[in-house]
Amino acid sequence: MFSELLLLSVQLMVFVVLSVPEVEADSGVESVLLPCRTTSELPEDAKVEWIDDKNTNVHLYWNGSNQLKEQDWFYRNRTKINEEPLKTGDLSLTMIEPKYTDTLTCSVYDKEGNILMRKQVRLKVREHRVEVEEGAESVQLPFSMPPDLALNTTVVWERVRPQFMRVHKYQGGSERPEEQNQRYRNRTKMNEDPLRSGDLSLTLNQPTVRDGGEYRCWVESGMILRKKRFLLRVKERVQVQHQREDIRNSSTDPTPLMADQSV
């Protein structure tokens, strides 16, 4: 009994130290492949299940077909695996428009529910980083989609962190300044006719340090078509930094101020 427990403990330790492969992708990329392959022969009635770290059903293949009805709505129309994965042993998952960093698990079960294989993949989604110096005339957050979008398409730009704010909205063929936060009033713009061109980029005029943070753009036409996240960093101007340092140093100068005295 003791030897069996010792063996199980060693096996668990080996499982813990095994490294999880990592796949990196930029936010807004069209798709990314999460690899999962085996050389072992799999039974035809096996079930292939992909889940995320919240135990949400990402993709399910069973009875020779994709079980899309079992898929969580968040991943609907955003995943696919190769044809006949049980025959080829290639159980890799293609994630369309990856959105968040996550650890995904691929499991294979036999018809009794016993685990035949289990592998994990770490998906790291990098935010699109944009840097600008305070005092610049403007900064652009670039975002594009295929041209000739439907006329009922809505484009929304938001600042998510550190404080949520509606930055810009385009709906019904025109901009909606009455729906944006007062801080961004008269400071944002998109190109003319963005739905026709597919260029949904946002230009922010006179960026300040206070504008820095995480932004996102989402496009909707009956359903969310696409999202993209940005990290905007507005660097303080060197001249301003030196001025603040001079003020800070003078305020801590231990030498008392002496008034001029005339003889």
Q: Would you list the domain boundaries of the chain?
A: 20-126, 128-240
> In this structure, are residues 150 and 221 in contact, taking their beta carbons and an 8 Å threshold?
yes
Three-state secondary structure call for residue 230: strand
Question: How far is CA 224 from its chain centroid?
Answer: 15
Which residue type sits at 59?
H
In the CATH scheme, what architecture does the domain 20-126 have? Sandwich (2.60)
Helix (H) or strand (E) holding 244: helix 238-251
Give, for all 263 residues of the chain, the pLDDT tens digit: 544 444 444 343 333 334 688 999 877 678 999 999 999 999 999 999 999 998 999 999 999 899 999 999 889 889 999 999 999 999 999 998 887 789 999 999 999 999 999 999 999 988 788 999 999 999 999 988 889 999 999 999 999 999 999 999 999 899 999 999 999 999 999 999 999 999 999 999 999 999 999 999 999 988 777 778 899 999 998 654 555 555 555 555 554 433 444 33
199: which DSSP letter?
B
Domains 20-126 and 128-240 share a fold: yes
> Hey, what CATH class is 128-240 in?
mainly beta
